[in-house]
Amino acid sequence: MELHIIFFILAGLLIAVLIGFSLWSARREKSNIFSNTFSTRPIAVPPQNNKMSNSIPTSLQPQNEDYQAMSVPEENPQQIQQEVESSLQNIKISLPGGNPQQQPEQIQPIQSVAEPTVSTYDQKISNQQHIQYNTPDFANPMVNTVVEETPQAVAIEPQETQSAEEENPFVTLYLYAPQNEAFRGDFVVHYLEEVGLRFGEHQIFHRHQHIDDSLSPIIFSAANLMNPGTFDLNNISNFATAGLVLFMQLPTEGNDVANMKLLISNAEHLAASLGGFLYDDNQQPFGEESRQRYMQRVMH
């Protein structure tokens, strides 16, 4: 009995020694693995600032400059007026069938200074049938300050305006771009050709009586509102303008009523396509009242 007990005790001790030895071996192998891993890795050292600065090209290094936000200066209405005047002075158009007439008396309507105004053309027809458009300055309109004379001036103004329209052989419509914006040249050319106008004499666009015949009589024309009033098709991708002016000389070839309707229709189509604003010859938004007044000029 004592040998059996001793045998069991020795067997238990042997098992305990084997278990302890296996645990100790496993722990030692783990410690060796981790110690070898960390010992073989180099210590990361942050690079010196002077080395980094030397490795960066001088063109990429920050410069000690003060940058200020760029702002687009707002155009002075008087400057816009002067630009329009100078542009309209250089436009010379020859239209067939035109007869030399005397220059109509210039009428300056009383307008508010706060409203943006661009004057109408003064028509000067030379013996060679060349027309030169000039723009009076409405930035500082002449206002009669005498109180007693004001009713008289208001009373005769409609008569003077009506007589001036009868003497003026030209019908004009103005198409303006939105404020601080401009019409792109390629868009302008595309939509002008879409409504039947063709690039021609004096480097502007014309609507001929027969669209495909550039030798047929001109019904109306479209010019650049900015100086010098022409279109540079060779550099149209870089071309931009603040507006267009469409004009027609009365009487026209063919039916004046039909031609007037065509002019108004094309002008309204251009305004919708380009996203602009259409104004009449009194620098008022073109509405139903302006339409009726224009049509009355060709209805006899």
Total number of domains constituting the chain: 1
Given a contact cutoff of 8 angstroms between Cβ atoms, the answer to whether 109 and 92 are in contact is no
- The CATH number linked to 237 is 3.30.1400.10
Please report whether residue 3 resides in a domain: no
Q: 3-state SS of the chain: helix, strand, coil percent to 5?
A: 40, 15, 45
Please report whether residue 184 resides in a domain: yes
Contacts of 168 (CB under 8 A, 6+ apart): 104, 123
Please report whether residue 68 resides in a domain: no
Q: Does pTM surpass 0.75?
A: no
Given a contact cutoff of 8 angstroms between Cβ atoms, the answer to whether 200 and 206 are in contact is yes
229 vs 242: CA distance, rounded Å: 11
- Segments in the chain forming alpha helices (H): 2-40, 49-55, 77-89, 150-167, 185-194, 256-274, 288-296
Q: Show the domain range for 223.
A: 77-296
Please report whether residue 102 resides in a domain: yes
267 vs 219: CA distance, rounded Å: 14
Peptide bond into 228 cis (omega under 30): yes
> Per-residue pLDDT for the chain (300 aa), expressed as one digit of tens each?
578 888 889 898 999 999 988 888 888 877 666 555 544 555 544 455 444 445 455 544 545 444 444 444 455 556 655 665 565 555 555 544 444 444 444 444 444 434 443 433 344 333 333 433 344 343 344 434 344 444 444 444 445 555 555 668 899 999 999 999 999 999 999 999 999 999 999 999 999 999 888 889 999 999 999 988 899 999 988 999 999 999 999 999 889 999 999 999 999 999 999 999 999 999 999 999 999 999 999 986
Q: Give the residue from 205, 243, 204 showing the smallest Cα distance to 226.
A: 243
